[in-house]
Structure formats: C-alpha cells, structure tokens
Structure 1
C-alpha cells in the first residue's frame, strides 16, 4: 500500500481531465451550449480576419486592432474548446503532462493579450474622439504593429512563470483534475508542497493586469465622455458615441463574465457549487470570442457592408 501511495505522489506522465464533475450524464448536453459558441468563434473571427485582409480599404489602424482582437479570440477559443468538447461528450480524457502545461500557458497568455488589446482599442478611440485632426499622425499602422508585438511579449513574460512554477514540483496528490481544462489553480491544487508562491503570483497577476487595464480603459472613456459632452449638438454627440459603442459592448462582455468567474472562485469557493465555478470559467473564455465578431460585424458599417457584399456575391453565384 505504501508503494502505491508513493507512486501516486510522483509526477504523472498525464493528467485526467474530468470536465464538470457533479452533473453526471448532463455533461453531454452542455456541448449544445459550448459547441455552437466555438463554431461562432471560428466562423465569426475567421470571417473578420479574412475581410480585413482582403479589403484594402480596411487597412487602417482601427481595423488592424480589430484583426488582432479576432486572432486573439480565435486562439483563446481553440486553446480550450476542442479538449472541452471531447471531455464533455466522451467523458474524462487524458492529457500529457507537458501538453497540460502548454495549455495552461496559452490560456492565461491569450487572456492577458485580450485584456491588453481592449485597453489599446480604448486608447485608440480616445485619440480618435479627443484629437481627430491629429489621429492619422498619432495612430499609424506601424505603431499598431509595434503595440501588438509589445502586448504579445508582455503576455508571454508575465504568464511563463505559471507553468515554470508548477514544473518545479515533483510530486502530486493525484493525476485527476476536476476541471475541463488545465487551469493554473486546478493543477496547483494537486501539488504536494508549498504552493504559496503559485497562489500569490496568480492573485497578484490577476489584480495587476486586469486592474491596470480596467483603470486605463476607464480613464480613456472618461476622456471620451468629457469630450463628447462638450460637443454643441445632440447629433454630434450621438455620432461620437456611436464610434465607441461596439467597443463598450465587447469590454462589458469580457470583463463582466471574467468578474463573475473571478469572484465565485476567490470568495464563493465554499458557497458556490464547483460545477458553477467550472461553467463560469469556460463561459468567460468562450463567450467573448463568440460574441465579439457578431458585435463588430453588426455595429461596424464598413465590416457589415463588406460581409453583406461578400454574402450577396456568393449567393448570386448559385
């Protein structure tokens, strides 16, 4: 018996993802929610990227930022959805130890990247509304590229400690992860040893990255509101606000769902059932990638017109 216990403490060659424990056979029905979400994320973000790539009139900083957001959403959804759907439909699935660490890295890095892109888009709208005459000088395609590269480097730099901190542990209590993907804290719960550094770094990173980005977004929209309210006519105010409405909807989708997930995990661990924790964390990662292309596709005239034109031309060929 002691040798068996010792084997269970060794670093496993694979982890076993259980999906959403506690709901039994109902897991298969949850695929009817997350499956369409992932399909929307693939089709919507793929269409946005294709439209921005093909239509040279959309080769502008604002649409390049939108393309970066779409690429990030595509990566974020793909980092968890295939494995999530497999677990929900087929039952517990093994995932190699190294693959689990890679998934942990990509999920958290792309989440940090998305938050940074939303902050950049808020700053872009603040410049467009606050200094429209200087916008083309201050915001260029080259600068958007540099900012996107900087955001990617930052995301990698701040998230790489997650898998490294986990990899330093050589013993685990079990190899079964009660989650649908390799979330950092779900893996840390299995570690044998002092995990205070993991817990503190995870908490500090969540508060610092999200907190600073939300502060920057709030400041940008405070500036926008200050400028808009000083415009002389209602029509001018409505037009200025209309340029920001899509972005506001995207921000609310990402941060409100993230806030619910974070609060239930940090403060409702003993009062909120675990299946609710896991459902919220998956909704947080899949809902924004599914809704963002719909929001921008419907509310951004240039993209809407281009998509309608493409659909009409395709339909007329049949």
Structure 2
C-alpha cells in the first residue's frame, strides 16, 4: 500500500535576521517512516502556518524550543491514518497534532487526536476548532472578562485569532472594534462578522483620533495581537480597570532595531489596568470546555470563520512568509493532499 510513496521534508536551512526569505528553508526527500507499536503512519492533508513560528526560527529562549537547523520544521497538521499499530486508531481516521513539515509522519497515538470529519470541515480543526479558536476563547474570556455593554478592541482583527475573538466578544454583548490593514478586511469585519466598527490602520492618519471616534465610551478590553505603535495608541484610551490579554506582537517579530516605543507603564498605572501575556498551552487542561463552546457556537451559526488555503507542499514557505505582509484574511493553511 505504501511502498510507492515518496516522503519530502521542509527544513530550517539557516536562521534569519529580520524578515525570513525562501533561502531560510530547504526541501529534501526522506525515507518513508514506519510506525512501531503504539504508532500510526499519517499522510499530511493540511498544514497550519502561524506567526509564532518566526520566533522558533531564532535561537532564542522562549516558551517553546527553537527549531533545529537542518531538521524539519513543525506545526499543527491534519492528516489521515495510512497504517496503524494501535487498536485506538484505524486506517482512514483523520487526526490532528503537532507534526513535522513533511508529507508523511509517524506519531505515537497519544500525540495526535482523532477528529470528527462529520462535525466540521477538516481545515476547521486548524482554525476555529483548533489552537486559534482556543486562543481567542481563553484569552478573551479568562483574561479579558468582557461584560455586557463594555468596549472591546481587537488588533490583528482579520487574522485567525482576531476574527474569532471579536465574534465571541459580540456574543458577550459588547461594543467591538477591530483594527486591520485593508479596506477589504475592515468591510469583512463589519459586514460578515458583525463588528460594530473597524479601522484600517494603513489609511488612517491619526490612529488615536480614530480609536476615540470608534470607542466613545473608552476601551475596557484590548485584545492585542500586534504590539507596536497601534497598541501605543489604543492604550491612550483605556478605561479604569481595563484588561489587556497580550496574545502576540507580530509588528516586532522581524524588526532588528529593538522596536523602541512609548513607555506603557504610566498608562497602566493611571488606568489601573491589567496586562497579561499568555499562550494557549496555559489552558491545556481546559481545552475540552473551550472546544465544547466553540463547537456549539459554530453549529448554531454564531461563529463565522475564514480560511486562506493554498495548495501544494512546495508552497508551505510562501504561505508562512505571507503572514508578515498581511496577505491572509483569516487562517492561513496549505492543502498538501486530497482528503
């Protein structure tokens, strides 16, 4: 069944300084892996590319280990079981897990999770029903704690996390303002997702003034995906006891100048605000709760999600690099093979 299959990997060829390019990746053919007892052979169907992977390309201490040079990069993957040496997973089952960027992987059955392809389309398990949806859910509800009638601002609002965050905030009865980088994205946020206001930061001369106009009652929750000058401007409008879930800082990931900016401490002290950095893994023991709520809202039509899917294993690096030029609306995925 598998003797004619050709495996291929994408390796980290060298570590980038500043913006990564294609030269930082390399492709190589590899032997087809064979499962041992308690393992399965998985054919890659979809690969998720995410901004946090940029940090793993650098050899710096962080909440997750750096990628190793001349070894495959890895991330969240949805795949199909081709061979099984376990009675818990069977040929044809669809699974999701952290796997190497290659066409075929072996994995211990405890390191992947079977998914219900009848419950939602397979790509959804890498977006709204995956890490992105859970990040939005826990960051907003546990740290942000939005209350009905409050104002929630989301930066990077047209990204995979941001668009789910804003919709959950609407479900909680808040006034939601999204910040994104094109008119197409701001239109999508308002017309398709129900955001109350949306600001295109690239065409706005005075962001602080635009935020004031969109948030007449100030900002109670700021879900920060971007950092940088946009966040400096939002923090000028914090209400007393505002909450800031700090999810990402994509504006600084490829900078080499130190990203100097406004000092935020006086703003936080005056407003007595809470800012808390988090990663979704902090909530791993509560993933079941998050998945239940997200699945319910999705089934009830209360959540909409958008994916940008490119086809072909060879386009994985391109899709990843596109994250930093703002190409993607919603979740960026690569379809590697047919379901």
| Structure ranking higher in strand proportion | 2
Give the TM-score band, short-chain normalised: under 0.3
Superposition TM-score, scaled by structure 2 size: 0.25
Structure (1 or 2) with the larger CA radius of gyration: 1
Task: Report which structure shows greater RCO (CA 8 Å, sep ≥6).
Answer: 1
Larger helix percent: 1
